[in-house]
């Protein structure tokens, strides 16, 4: 008689209910695919009484997810509560200590405590799986850890926060300023309770740090992700970039070079006709680059009940099938300490500045760039008139420049005394 | 002491040499990732003496791949010779009989003998893996079998023959006729020895039949794939389709409905701005649609030494890691017999016909469509003059129509007596 795989489900929100629905709807399919039934034994959430639109009466209830994690009648603890501390952490630790496998959708938890949890799990002979934590329904963890396991990974790039991509594409398509679209997104329920997790790039940074660990065999190093959110992306820059053939995306890049590990999650210009440039709305996209395979691009829904539950269930089914791997693809004790790159790889930059229309103003700007060792690929001046002044908008695309040199040039711009307002510099990623 | 995983490599062509290079270059990486060394013990090819640009001196040589498959000092038989019968089949059967796991890149072999081989392997407790057989470096078998295992699969679509996509995009971009580009492709070495495997859609059809088996839990049914190659795609239709916002692709579609299993590998019009429409050159793309996850799109190199060897090695590494699954995702003995759909799902169609510019000619065409129960979405008439005659080019986009009705209308067109040459009808897939 085959033993069913018994799940303890902590969290009955968007993702948790999605998991319940798949388990209930596809019992036969999963038995066929795994050779054993997959069942939910017990569940936990904050409010027991809430109507969640599904029948939970067959499942034991636990008020405390830690108690759920320790139950004798579960094999896998499914953590879909969220939060990088508190209940999620306590219950995950308890599950491992009690000899359970863990499936989680919680990137915050793993970005902060992944190393310790992985070591504990591996010492106990248990697995922690987290496909749903990165890029929702896209099987990117599996593709990277297993599908590209014969490659030395060169680079990982991704648009991995659907809310940010929604906001940026909506700004562009509707010509609306950030604040307006942010408010729309809030009203549509697209934003986390703490919106800075989304628009500050933190959520996407968590995801990037997990991919980087697998890709490069290093310990998760979220603290070393260079983070910049989308709050300063102006509709003006979106339009001007578009005219030059670029779109602005919150783009994550992780790459390893002789200079160390580089992890960035920042707004970038990408070619409008590139796969990333064409990505609209809440869809996610990840590019994995390996030394043998070249570039693989994966695209799909990055969030939502169905897609996220699909990813959780792929982890559960792997466990039911006996497919077991270390959390980050190789034993946690063998993951290397991160040596972070001192600064990002040089890249071309888009720059925008408004100048007082005085003789020699443009020359001063060009001189700043020259002094910083930055050479100019394209430069355009657009004269503007308003009630008070004659002004000139200057757009520059540089050749490859070091970020430090760009920062230096920006500060020198300010010192010229010919600027109106603050200048802008945004990195261009040519993919 | 951990045991190394020992490979017997049959085939030292493009893919085989790619495998040798990865095994030699990434010995440490693979030991780190799998916990055990992955080594090549013995190899086989036709000509022993050939200089293959890599050092093979450490490997035992077998003239006969069957003898290689039976060697005591191999654990995994890697079949990268090709061909659906003969050596590839004999050696694969011998390997299974001798208790070896098998990794193959050979879609022809599995499309023809996959069911029997899978049953034999599973009876012997062995696995057959074939990530490299479909869409080269893209981990599409893994994504479908494991990553989307929590889904009922609704549909699989793909552009999976790089040579055909190269030919079609080159025709479009350079404005060249099929024959010219076919000859170019031949000279570039892009075509199989039997080019009909590529341009006849057979190779892509093999791949589609393997995906369909996994997706729907059915026996591989290559015989039921509706196959049409690209040899009749004219540069005229490519241009006219483009003007209407479509590109022509050799597109595979597998879907299961109440009507049965539908498998098609035929030229289709797809929206120019869709992911498939934008796919240029030799790149492959596969879309997997599941009931929970929605649509996942995977894109990457579909052939070549590095990408294909990357896929072979991902299978080898899975075996080294102890990740073992039935060939088609569930036990071969449980795969259902295919009930093929009698005909393809209705779809809009693009039609082109050249008419003698006689009064009432257009009305006759419209009447044929009406009589066949096909309604017209768009219709355009372009008058043309050449030395002899006044002619009119008529372009039609229909509303959704059943393929049988389209075929009927086409035959009725011919009976009107107002046509110059043969009319064309190509299915439109709106993705
Ligand atoms: N939503 C997505 O699309 C998505 C995508 C990828 C990853 N994720 C991740 O998945 C996790 C869950 O997300 P979600 O969107 O499903 O969240 P959610 O809708 O807010 O649901 C959270 C669930 O956890 C329960 N919960 C919270 N704290 C608890 C505690 N201390 N004890 C017991 N139960 C507790 C809640 O109980 P009550 O219902 O009683 O309040 C609720 O059922 C998060 O880590 C998130 O980052 C979500
Ligand atoms: N090339 C790709 O990009 C690609 C992509 C995906 C899948 N595949 C599949 O991978 C397989 C191999 O393709 P390939 O391009 O590497 O082919 P290839 O370059 O033609 O190499 C075939 C190899 O098999 C050897 N061989 C053929 N018949 C043999 C026999 N009877 N006994 C011993 N050795 C024999 C040949 O030996 P000699 O060298 O001595 O002649 C050669 O080394 C095929 O199934 C193909 O469909 C290829």
Q: Are the C-beta atoms of residues A47 and A31 closer than 8 Å to each other?
A: no
Domain-ending residue, one of A133, A160, A189: A133
The radius of gyration of chain A from alpha carbons, rounded to an integer in Å, stands at 24
Q: According to the model, what pLDDT value does residue A1 have?
A: 67
Q: According to the model, what pLDDT value does residue A50 have?
A: 96
B149 and B110, same structural domain?
no
Distance between CA atoms of residues A187 and A49, nearest Å: 26
Q: Is A47 in the pocket of ligand 1 (CB under 6 A)?
A: yes
Optimal mutation site among A28, A292, A319, A335, interface B, most CBs of chain B within 10 A = A292
Q: What own/partner pairs with CB < 8 Å and gap ≥ 24 does B97-100 have?
A: B97/B124, B98/B69, B98/B70, B99/B124, B99/B125, B99/B126, B100/B8, B100/B69, B100/B74, B100/B75, B100/B76, B100/B126
Distance between CA atoms of residues B333 and B356, nearest Å: 59
Examine residue B46 and state whether it is found in any structural domain, yes or no.
yes
- Give me ligand 2 centre to Cα B13, in Å: 5
B154 and B125, same structural domain?
no
A157 and A87, same structural domain?
no
Examine residue B356 and state whether it is found in any structural domain, yes or no.
yes
pLDDT band at A2 (very low <50, low <70, confident <90, very high): confident
B247 and B214, same structural domain?
yes
Domain-ending residue, one of A105, A133, A161: A133
With the most atoms of ligand 2 within 8 angstroms of its CB, the residue from B8, B9, B10, B11 to mutate is B11
B97 and B23, same structural domain?
yes
Q: With a cut of 70, which residues of chain B have pLDDT below it?
A: 1, 386-388
Q: Is B114 in the pocket of ligand 2 (CB under 6 A)?
A: no
Q: Is A132 in the pocket of ligand 1 (CB under 6 A)?
A: yes
Distance between CA atoms of residues A285 and A271, nearest Å: 15
Q: Is A410 in the pocket of ligand 1 (CB under 6 A)?
A: no
> pLDDT of A209-261, one tens digit each?
999 999 999 999 999 999 999 999 999 999 999 999 999 999 999 999 888 99
Q: Give me the CATH number covering residue B59.
A: 3.40.50.720
Domain total of chain B:
3
Distance between CA atoms of residues A157 and A287, nearest Å: 5
How many whole angstroms from its chain centre is CA A8? 27
Structure tokens at A11: 């969290």
Q: Is the ipTM beyond the 0.85 threshold?
A: yes
Note which residues in 200-219 of chain B have CB less than 8 A from chain A. Answer: 217
A368 at interface of B, judged by CB pairs closer than 8 A: no
Q: Residues A185, A188, A190, CA angle at the centre, nearest 5°?
A: 60
- Give me ligand 1 centre to Cα A178, in Å: 28
A297 and A166, same structural domain?
yes
pLDDT band at A156 (very low <50, low <70, confident <90, very high): very high
Q: How far is CA B245 from CA B270, B282, B393, in A?
A: 8, 22, 18
Q: Residues of B with CB below 8 A from A139's CB?
A: 142-143, 146-148, 296
In the set B207, B342, B358, B391, the catalytic residue is: B207
More confidently predicted of A380 and B151 = B151
Best CA proximity match to A328, nearest among A218, A252, A225:
A218
Q: According to the model, what pLDDT value does residue A257 have?
A: 87
Q: Is the pLDDT of residue A388 over 80?
A: no
Examine residue A223 and state whether it is found in any structural domain, yes or no.
yes
Note which residues in 70-129 of chain A have CB less than 8 A from chain B. Answer: none
Q: Is the pLDDT of residue A8 over 80?
A: yes
Q: Give me the CATH number covering residue A393.
A: 3.30.70.260
A377 and A289, same structural domain?
no
Distance between CA atoms of residues A134 and A311, nearest Å: 9
B371 and B256, same structural domain?
no
B218 and B179, same structural domain?
yes
- Mean pLDDT, chain A, as a whole number? 96
Distance between CA atoms of residues B303 and B190, nearest Å: 10
Is position B89 annotated as part of the catalytic site? Answer: no
Q: Is the pLDDT of residue A403 over 70?
A: yes
pLDDT band at A387 (very low <50, low <70, confident <90, very high): low
Mean pLDDT of A11-19: 98
Q: Give me the CATH number covering residue A245.
A: 3.30.360.10
Q: How far is the alpha carbon of B207 from chain A, nearest alpha carbon, in Å?
A: 18
Q: How far is CA B265 from CA A178, B149, B199, B357, in A?
A: 45, 24, 11, 36
B143 at interface of A, judged by CB pairs closer than 8 A: yes
Q: Which domain holds residue B360?
A: 349-428
A193 and A86, same structural domain?
no
Examine residue A138 and state whether it is found in any structural domain, yes or no.
no
Domain-ending residue, one of A101, A133, A165: A133
Examine residue A367 and state whether it is found in any structural domain, yes or no.
yes
pLDDT band at A358 (very low <50, low <70, confident <90, very high): confident
Q: Is B192 in the pocket of ligand 2 (CB under 6 A)?
A: no
- DSSP lists the bridge partners of residue A247 as A270
Which residues are CB-contacts of A79 (< 8 A; sequence separation ≥ 6)?
A: A10, A11, A65, A88, A91, A92, A95, A102, A103, A104, A105, A106, A109
A53 and A26, same structural domain?
yes
Structure tokens at A351: 């720059």
Examine residue B343 and state whether it is found in any structural domain, yes or no.
no
Examine residue A329 and state whether it is found in any structural domain, yes or no.
no
**One-character DSSP codes across A164-187:** HHHHHHHHHHHT--HHHHHHHHHH
Examine residue B331 and state whether it is found in any structural domain, yes or no.
no
A122 and A29, same structural domain?
yes
> pLDDT of A103-130, one tens digit each?
999 999 999 999 999 999 999 999 999 9
Q: Would the CB atoms of A148 and B309 count as touching at under 8 Å?
A: no
């Amino acid at each position: 008689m085959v033993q069913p795989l018994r799940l303890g489900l902590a969290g009955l929100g968007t993702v948790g209910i999605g998991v319940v629905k798949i388990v209930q709807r596809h019992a036969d399919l999963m038995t066929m695919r795994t050779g054993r039934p997959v069942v939910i034994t017990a569940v936990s959430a904050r409010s027991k009484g809430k109507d969640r639109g599904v029948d939970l009466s067959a499942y034991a209830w636990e008020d405390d997810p830690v108690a759920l994690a320790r139950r004798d009648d579960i094999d896998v603890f499914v953590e879909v509560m969220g939060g990088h501390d508190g209940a999620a952490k306590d219950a995950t630790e308890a599950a491992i200590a009690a000899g359970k496998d863990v499936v989680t959708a919680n990137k915050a938890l793993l970005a902060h405590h992944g190393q310790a949890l992985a070591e504990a799990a591996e010492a106990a002979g248990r697995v922690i799986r987290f496909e749903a934590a990165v890029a929702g329904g896209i099987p990117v963890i599996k593709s990277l850890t297993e599908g590209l396991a014969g490659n030395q990974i060169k680079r990982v790039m991704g648009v991995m926060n659907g809310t940010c991509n929604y906001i940026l594409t909506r700004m562009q398509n509707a010509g609306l300023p950030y604040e307006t679209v942010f408010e729309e997104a809030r009203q549509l329920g697209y934003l986390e309770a703490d919106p800075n997790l989304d628009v500050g790039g933190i959520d996407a940074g968590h995801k990037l740090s997990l991919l980087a660990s697998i890709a490069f065999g290093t310990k998760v190093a979220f603290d070393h992700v260079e983070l910049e959110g989308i709050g300063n992306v102006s509709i003006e820059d979106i339009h001007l970039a578009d005219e030059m053939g670029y779109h602005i995306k919150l783009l994550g890049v992780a790459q390893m070079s002789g200079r160390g590990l580089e992890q960035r999650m920042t707004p970038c210009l990408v070619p409008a006709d590139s796969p990333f440039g064409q990505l609209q709305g809440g869809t996610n996209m990840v590019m994995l680059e390996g030394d043998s395979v070249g570039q693989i691009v994966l695209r799909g829904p990055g969030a939502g009940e169905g897609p996220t539950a699909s990813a959780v269930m792929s982890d559960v089914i792997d466990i039911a099938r006996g497919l077991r791997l270390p959390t980050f693809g190789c034993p946690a004790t063998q993951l290397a300490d991160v040596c972070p790159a001192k600064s990002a790889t040089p890249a071309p930059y888009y720059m925008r500045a408004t100048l007082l229309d005085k003789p020699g103003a443009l020359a001063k700007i060009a001189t700043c760039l020259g002094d910083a060792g930055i050479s100019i690929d394209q430069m355009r001046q657009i004269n503007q008139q308003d009630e008070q002044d004659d002004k000139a908008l200057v757009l520059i695309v540089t050749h490859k420049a070091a970020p430090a040199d760009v920062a230096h040039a920006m500060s020198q711009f300010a010192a010229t005394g010919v600027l109106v307002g603050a200048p802008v510099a945004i990195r261009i990623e040519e993919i």
